[in-house]
Structure 1
């Protein structure tokens, strides 16, 4: 049932799909890079990473990035997925371990590769050092601060979710939607639009209410689609941290009914997303091109998540997974 719902939502999505021509070569590069960095990956783990297709995800979100930049973006995406796995697996990181990881990561992003923290070392640190090198060199200080703040928010979200799971407390719908915006890492990907396009926005424009509304809704759309795709996994291990499960509990309906309610919520959100994009005001001839590139990037994040979720072996709905 869920797969049919996901396919129907993809068919109804008005955002055109895009994919970088460098996605598949970058996936080959990624596997070799992870091996060189010394990540503890056996043949089976490497095969899972290959079939997950993180480079294709980055290539869908940043279809116009150069090949070197797509490698950077893919490395960053891979780092976040590996951290996500560390927080979700059966022997997952504890809340204190996530907090310590956060401190080490933020120190590196703010101070550079010489910053050291006892809880952040080894191959995972080396991957982030490598992936962060080019954005740190090329992007202005205000952008680096914005990206780092987004990473802090994401890791704080992972910590809050871990605390809730440890205490066995399932969130209500409103609480879950707010938390999911942090754990999805969409807010981390949005500044990367500026890196990929070479068009950094002033803070006043980036945080303009019209752009923030679109950013929040785009985050919701990709997160809710992902929740539908990962429902069966989350029923077993997420402690109620899935929008479908939160809706089923709060509204006291069967999970099957909650799937339809979440799908309808997604459709209504998509219609509003289109309307909000149309209503964005002009910021003047010197900024409108960069604003358009940013809004296109948020749209690519939504559509890219839809298409990648249905092709990636990371999710049970993907063919051949």
Structure 2
């Protein structure tokens, strides 16, 4: 099935050291023996260093490298344990394995899984998170890793039963099993700032984060559909969910693209608003989310992980400035309908703040 050019209002960018980052991540995967030999050979060809370089085009090189190694590690878990491994069909055993890994992330000094390469790689990642991030950022990274682990166990329960979730359940699961939230603290680390709690806890910021996750994972589902259908066994993405609801494959593709377009339009408006009414750190964070979205798109249409040159996927080579659906109405998916409650109807005025600083009694500006 042909994937048409996708809507993207965000400019592309890439870190100038992307080639070196690719090579360094390949060496890291080999030194830590991430995944099976066959899986590792495949992963190091996917230009994951370039993916991180697109997501953090202006970031500190050490943190961009951390991001690249972490994403490769995540693919080792997702491909090796969940999608291709037997554990991916045994949710109870998978939960136990992931909880032991989570303990390694929480307490890398704990004498657990000392001979396990994935645990060894995770210990190295946690050490670098502590080196380049604050204690709060490290805690959020571990907390988001817990969300990711919890969601892939949920996915494994569907894989074991051969069932397809409802669209609302799938949307909720996909906000976390794409591991997008685990990247959010790294966006801050790469630029050397930390979003303050009075802004981080603001409802509109959470909406912007979830919208970014939605667009990134919907794009991933659309661009990986050919690869997944050509594989063997159970697969799950939004196109399959929509087809299970009665749509033809082409109708499902059209619908999924319209959904991500509508969310991306809303995200762009909300991110612009928060950039005006927020702190300088808020503006950096919104820029980071934008780079995350566009970097995922550029990598998705170019990496052999999805282009599958041995059986070429019909992916677009570029993007369009025009959404197929620019409606300001909610999607009608229960799990995320609240997003539109915080999307401003009009552009923000400069000088307004998004939330009170500690000790202030009321909002100076609200959305």
TM-score, normalised with respect to structure 1: 0.88
User: Could you say if the C-alpha distance between residues 157 and 46 of structure 1 is closer, same or farther in structure 2, counting changes exceeding 3 Å?
Assistant: closer
User: Could you say if the C-alpha distance between residues 82 and 39 of structure 1 is closer, same or farther in structure 2, counting changes exceeding 3 Å?
Assistant: closer
User: Does residue 295 in structure 1 map to residue 289 in structure 2?
Assistant: no
User: Does residue 33 in structure 1 map to residue 28 in structure 2?
Assistant: yes
CA drift at 1:67: 2.3
SS at match of 1:52: coil
Q: Mind listing any 5+ residue stretches in structure 1 that lack a counterpart?
A: none
Partner of residue 236, structure 2:
241
1:58-81 per-residue CA deviation (whole Å, 9 max, x = no partner) reads 111111122222222211111111
Distance in 1 (CA, whole Å) between partners of 2:109 and 2:85 is 32
Structure having the higher helix fraction is 1
Task: Tell me how large the CA RMSD over aligned residues is.
Answer: 2.3
TM-score, normalised with respect to structure 2: 0.78
Conservation of the 8 A alpha-carbon contact between 2:227 and 2:308: no
CA drift at 1:238: 7.0
Partner of residue 110, structure 2:
115
1:73 aligned residue (58, 67, 83)? 67
Partner of residue 148, structure 2:
154
Conservation of the 8 A alpha-carbon contact between 1:310 and 1:318: no
Distance in 1 (CA, whole Å) between partners of 2:233 and 2:289 is 27
CA drift at 1:191: 1.1
User: Could you say if the C-alpha distance between residues 209 and 40 of structure 1 is closer, same or farther in structure 2, counting changes exceeding 3 Å?
Assistant: closer
CA drift at 1:239: 4.1
Structure number, greater radius of gyration: 2
Q: Mind listing any 5+ residue stretches in structure 2 that lack a counterpart?
A: 313-367
CA drift at 1:133: 1.0
User: Could you say if the C-alpha distance between residues 68 and 156 of structure 1 is closer, same or farther in structure 2, counting changes exceeding 3 Å?
Assistant: same
Distance in 1 (CA, whole Å) between partners of 2:139 and 2:35 is 31
Distance in 2 (CA, whole Å) between partners of 1:58 and 1:319 is 25
Partner of residue 21, structure 1:
16
Conservation of the 8 A alpha-carbon contact between 1:165 and 1:238: no
CA drift at 1:317: 5.8
Distance in 2 (CA, whole Å) between partners of 1:174 and 1:101 is 28
Partner of residue 102, structure 1:
98
Conservation of the 8 A alpha-carbon contact between 1:176 and 1:241: no
User: Could you say if the C-alpha distance between residues 80 and 90 of structure 1 is closer, same or farther in structure 2, counting changes exceeding 3 Å?
Assistant: closer
CA drift at 1:139: 2.6
CA drift at 1:18: 1.0
Partner of residue 2, structure 1:
2
Distance in 1 (CA, whole Å) between partners of 2:188 and 2:252 is 37
Alignment of 1:1-321 (within 5 A): 1-3=1-3, 5=4, 8-9=5-6, 12-39=7-34, 42=37, 45-86=39-80, 87-89=82-84, 91-93=86-88, 94-111=90-107, 113-118=108-113, 121-235=115-229, 239=234, 241-250=236-245, 252-280=246-274, 288-316=279-307
CA drift at 1:193: 0.8
Distance in 2 (CA, whole Å) between partners of 1:237 and 1:301 is 30
Report the number of matched residues.
309
Distance in 2 (CA, whole Å) between partners of 1:240 and 1:55 is 26
Conservation of the 8 A alpha-carbon contact between 1:173 and 1:247: yes
Conservation of the 8 A alpha-carbon contact between 1:98 and 1:155: no
Distance in 2 (CA, whole Å) between partners of 1:177 and 1:69 is 30
Distance in 2 (CA, whole Å) between partners of 1:116 and 1:168 is 37
CA drift at 1:121: 4.4
CA drift at 1:40: 6.0
CA drift at 1:194: 1.1
CA drift at 1:37: 2.3
